[in-house]
Structure 1
Amino acid sequence: MKFAEIQELIAQIDQSEIQKLELDFEGGHILIDKRDIADQPVQVTGTGEEAAKQQEQASPALPTASAKAVPESAKQATEVKANTVQVKAPLVGIVYLQPSPDKPQYKKVGDHVQKGEVVCLIEAMKMMTEIKSTSSGTITEILVANEEVVEYDQPLMTIIPD
């Protein structure tokens, strides 16, 4: 499938009532999802340089949320996020937000945490690793669910430093 054909397909889907389209073809795969355009870009996969070129060229063709006027509350939220620190997963594994199923969660949103305090555990290959806070402050978001599989360097929670 050529880039011009992909652009035409995107334009036709954009003008239609179709919310999601997944297309498999020889040498690739396309996923178009209009439900939340800012978080769900067009994905093109295939073999070799052609797929990489298609992905590179297809991404800029999408309209983005930045083209719209940003409400004042969204600007304030962005400013708050700029002042936060993220606790990230140092390894791949299963995250546990509580020490055991019958005990309460280490920390909840709104709780104060000290630098070096345990905020969760990650299990990898039957080994439990304590994840400690990287700074003192107040937890504003917990970005993962208990017993969720996490990737290396994935944000686990955000903290507003003191």
Structure 2
Amino acid sequence: MNIKDIKDLMAQFDQSSLKEFSYRNGADELSFSKNEAKSAPSPVAAIPDSVVAASPVAQVADAVTSLEESSVPANPLAEGDVVESPLVGVAYLAPAPDKPSFVSVGDTVKKGQTLLIIEAMKVMNEVPAPRDGVVTEILVSNEEVIEFGKGLVRLK
């Protein structure tokens, strides 16, 4: 299961009448909730392996592992300051799939210029350059799920 499959599952959950959905496979767990306040997790009943194997949700643990592996490794030779993510979401390097990237390695940017977009809760948030500089490294890939404080771009 890849990130697209997880997004599809999230969209289906969002459109359903379910308020909570949880899946656990060994030490890995996936939970969705539409509740405002986070409640204590309820015990998960044992699911027969035959049901788990037939379900697309069964591959969520593999998807989480592949997400961690899909991150672009940092280049130890790149110079400059790292621009960190101001929020959790999905990074988009271009304004649309058929459009060119906002920035590429080697581009000169001005303070306030959009470096990339982070989608959070169906809102597109532009990440501006904090200062003038040259992009020496792009630390995320397109459509990568990112955490708060994760390095996005390195500026020299």
Q: TM-score, normalised by structure 1?
A: 0.48
Deviation at 1:106, TM superposition (A): 0.3
**Matching residue of 2:107:** 111
Letter in 2 for 1:131: V
Measure the CA separation in 2 of the matches of 1:86 and 1:133.
11
Contact 1:85–1:158 (Cα < 8 Å) also in 2: yes
List structure 1 segments (4+ residues) > 6 angstroms apart after TM superposition: none
- Higher-RCO chain (CA-CA 8 Å, sequence separation at least 6): 2
Contact 1:93–1:122 (Cα < 8 Å) also in 2: yes
SS at match of 1:145: coil
Deviation at 1:85, TM superposition (A): 1.6
SS at match of 1:156: strand
Alignment of 1:92 with 2:96, yes or no, is no
Deviation at 1:86, TM superposition (A): 1.2
1:54-73 alignment runs, 5 A limit: none
Segments of structure 1 that go 5 or more residues without pairing to the other structure are 1-27, 29-73
Identity %: 45
Measure the CA separation in 1 of the matches of 2:110 and 2:82.
14
Contact 1:85–1:135 (Cα < 8 Å) also in 2: no
**Matching residue of 2:137:** 141
Deviation at 1:135, TM superposition (A): 1.2
Q: TM-score, normalised by structure 2?
A: 0.50
Segments of structure 2 that go 5 or more residues without pairing to the other structure are 1-26, 28-75
Letter in 1 for 2:118: I
**Matching residue of 1:120:** 116
RMSD of aligned residue pairs (Cα, Å): 1.6
